[in-house]
Chain A
């Protein structure tokens, strides 16, 4: 009995613990740097892993010297609008491709997948022309409309897999009962796909939240920047890194995503495994 417990400690808890330390260390480093004073930060004689004197100077700098709250709002706005646009489009696309089986539907599915494979580093050049012609340059709507270019393919494929796990008979039964396609989609498919929709939503939200390249390219006004771009462009001046406020921004920038994940983690797992249990 004891040996089995010991075995579990060695084979499970110790590796898991090491892995957790490896994963969480950056967060700890952000946290520690945020609450240190500049003097302590650059004093090489002190133990860098500990906070000797707590200081709120970096937070004060972040919230008063930069428009960080505005950046947070911008990031929220872009992440939520692009997620909503992507989800509503992907739901219809995935359902159509998976269930209506029109001519060329599988080809269209593959086509959408290929869109996902084009790297943003190539795509941003033609997209820049489009954004300019649409007069969306330096506008948050540019990001809200551009992010779906990579979110829709991803969400569509995830939802296609999920819809596939819903028995066809449910729809056929509803059809015999007198329901229309839209009614079935709304009353049967959507409620049953909630875990899939949520996980697609979380993923879309996270991807938009962390996006860097497009946000850097299409936004130039300081007040319109997102967190990821704002921190790097405003708190790294030339070769001067304002480590304290930078880490404070990174910490507060990652909290919302962590919260979203922790609330929906169960749905997320169910959505990824596509398991529909009657």
Chain B
């Protein structure tokens, strides 16, 4: 178990900046998730921590020790790769014992550890098989086992579940989380799947274009995204953005207006939005913060023309035209709406998000 610290870490590939000014501390026993779209630098950062990629600038510390020039094998880490990276010519047992053998650990100890780990992961029956005789999920377990058996200070996961089918992924997600709790170790996990990030991370780092956009607990990031990118990336389905919203003052009340809706701004947001009076902002409303309503309540409801209805079981997604915008609403499964029907949508005003149209930062 150890702390991992990155200080202003940067990575250049020729002239291309892959990671820039990355500073972060991952605490003892924390499950940290790096999430972002492909090419955002999350895997490169992980590989720099592993020592598989040179660090162009900045410093990486593992357990308080500067490791910039320490080779991967001396960093006391274990990594699980996306394609499992199991040695095809070795049995499951040999795969798991490989690292221990190199550490010159006694045969009895290796045998004990491999069997213990295999039992924990439910792969005891496959020890004599070769990777090609296993299913995707089983291979994934072996890859995990190979990392666990070494009892490293830090676990690094590079999109380990993305080659599994959806159902297995959910199951492995749970198991990984359970393993982490049980082993009480520091883990850094890279994924492009925001649901994986939300469900697994103690904290999440959202990245884009090689830069950290926001670091925080999953729900904090969901509730208070730092900027428009984070707001759009975290949460499924994606937040609705209305670009041409204007802040207006009517009688003592602060309102946000577009061509087809006017919503009252709650008191706690008033102060921060006052400087934008009369100016344009980007209004963000999550689909789950919209619900069907029977009456046009004052200053929080608006009319919408239903275009597409997508039932997903526990919710129904409605794509509706609101003035010149299209908005997605996640309504209750009991809803009976039909395409081309006009309905009234009600917004949960306390969950509205506002973004500066220039800087894209949250207001």
Contacts and interface: CB of A to CB of B under 8 A. Distances in A.
Nearest to A179: B102
A119 interface: no
Interface in A119-177: 167, 169-170, 172-177
Contacts of A174: 87, 98
Interface residues of A, number: 18
B73 A169 contact: no
A170 B86 CA distance: 7
Interface string B137-149: 0010000001000
A157 B88 CA distance: 24
A174 B99 CA distance: 8
Interface in A169-215: 169-170, 172-179, 183, 188, 191-192
Interface string B54-92: 000000000000000001110101110111111111000
Contact of A169 (B77, B78, B83): B83
Given A175-B52, A176-B50, A278 B132 contact: yes
State which size class the interface on B falls in.
Answer: 20 to 34
B131 interface: yes
A177 B73 contact: yes
A276 interface: yes
B150 interface: yes
Interface string A44-71: 0000000000000000000000000000
B174 to A, nearest CB: 25
B87 A167 contact: no
B87 A170 contact: yes
Nearest to A183: B102
A276 B98 CA distance: 21
Contact of A192 (B79, B88, B102, B103): B88
A277 interface: yes
Given A176-B78, A178-B102, A167 B85 contact: yes
A277 B88 contact: yes
Contact of B85 (A172, A178, A276): A172
Contact of A176 (B77, B83, B86): B77
B88 A278 contact: yes
Nearest to A191: B89
Interface string A245-277: 000000000000000000000000000000011
Interface of A: 167, 169-170, 172-179, 183, 188, 191-192, 276-278
In the complex, the 4 A-B pairs of residues with the closest C-beta atoms, listed nearest first: A177-B99, A169-B85, A178-B73, A178-B102
21 contacts: A169-B85, A170-B85, A172-B52, A172-B72, A172-B79, A172-B81, A173-B85, A175-B72, A176-B72, A176-B75, A176-B77, A176-B99, A177-B150, A178-B99, A179-B73, A179-B102, A192-B87, A276-B88, A278-B84, A278-B86, A278-B139
